[in-house]
Amino acid sequence: MHGIIVLMGGFLLDCLLGDPHNPWHPICLIGHLISFLEKEIRHLFPKNQNGELAGGTLLVLLVLVISTVVPILILMAARLLHPYLALVLEMIMCYQLLAARSLRDESMKVYRALHRQDIEGARKAVSMIVGRDTERLDAAGIAKAAVETVAENASDGVIAPMIFIAIGGAPLGFFYKAVNTMDSMVGYKNGKYLYFGRAAAKLDDVMNYVPSRISGLLMVASSVFTSGNAKGAWRIFRRDRYNHASPNSAQTEAACAGALGLQLAGDAWYFGERYHKPTIGDPMRDIEDADIIRANCLMYGASILCLVLCVVIRYILVG
């Protein structure tokens, strides 16, 4: 029952409280660790392809060991004091690993700005949750970017960490989030990180391979309970879930696009350069600001379904 209580409690805390914005948040600390180690490691290896690959691999190993061992030691120390203290601490850890409320809150800032026709405010709000250039985006482009972010992060921000927590508790959850954070910081295919970030990017692809597909299927199922087009979600999920450079990122985007009857993805600007990307879904109607709310409903529906699934499976296997 320990694992079930931890998982359910962590999810409930996230729904009620959301992420506190402070520099001592564990994921922020992992980010600081990555930045510090990157600077130190780059001094140790030659600045050529082999050196960058070796340095990036060392970064991955060090970050994963530290990010996993620290919560294990904290929980071991807590258990020595009292089992209930360890239970509460692990529940708080799990809450800090989930981002459903944060994802909803940040995307709704975009919705509110669009709803009051504050385009500049909407651009600023969406720039906080996407990596693309936002200066050129009109209202439709802003709404689309927000919907895509909610859909994609439903997997790596909520469902995937929930799955890893269900398997191995908070320590395995931190292992996953360390991989995910490294990929978001160094997993770029540019001159600086093409080789140095390759190990992090490849490991992130491996870690998300199964969870992203589970997330896509759960989003299809969620469309049944959230007034989405379930048939459309299933059709577009099957057809377009590989329309992305990453083997995982389009899984939930495809399900969301089909459920809402939208066309997502397509060309986007990054760092002043236009990148050609395939589209996901069919343009059955124009996107609108209310689609951000609909995407959040799909995300929460899929997350709750995942929670129920994890609890049932864990109860059957562990009791």
What average pLDDT values come out for the chain (319 residues) when binned by 10 residues?
A: 90 89 87 95 92 96 97 97 95 95 95 94 91 84 94 95 95 96 90 91 96 97 92 96 90 96 82 79 94 97 96 82
DSSP result, 72-125: HHHHHHHHHH-HHHHHHHHHHHHHHH--HHHHHHHHHHHHHHHHTT-HHHHHHH
Tell me the pTM. Answer: 0.92
* Contact assessment for residue 114 and residue 134, using Cβ atoms and an 8 Å cutoff: no
Q: Which domain holds residue 41?
A: 2-317
Contacts of 270 (CB under 8 A, 6+ apart): 131, 132, 133
| Structure-block tokens of residue 26 | 């564990």
Measured between alpha carbons, how far is 269 from 267 in angstroms, rounded to an integer?
7
In order of 50, 51, 55, 88, the CA distances from 43 in angstroms are 14, 10, 9, 41
**The total number of structural domains that make up the chain:** 1
* Angle between helix 139-153 and helix 100-115 axes, rounded to 10 deg: 170
What pLDDT, in 10s, does the model give residues 104-141?
999 999 999 999 999 999 999 999 988 777 788 899 99
| Total Cβ atoms within 10 A of residue 290 | 13
Distance CA 148, CA 151 (A): 5
Residue type, 6: V
pLDDT at 136: 84
CB-count exposure of residue 272 (10 Å: 0-12, 13-18, 19+): exposed
Tell how far CA 185 is from the center of its chain: 13
pLDDT (0 to 100) of residue 104: 95
Q: List the one residue out of 105, 135, 108 whose CA is nearest residue 123.
A: 135
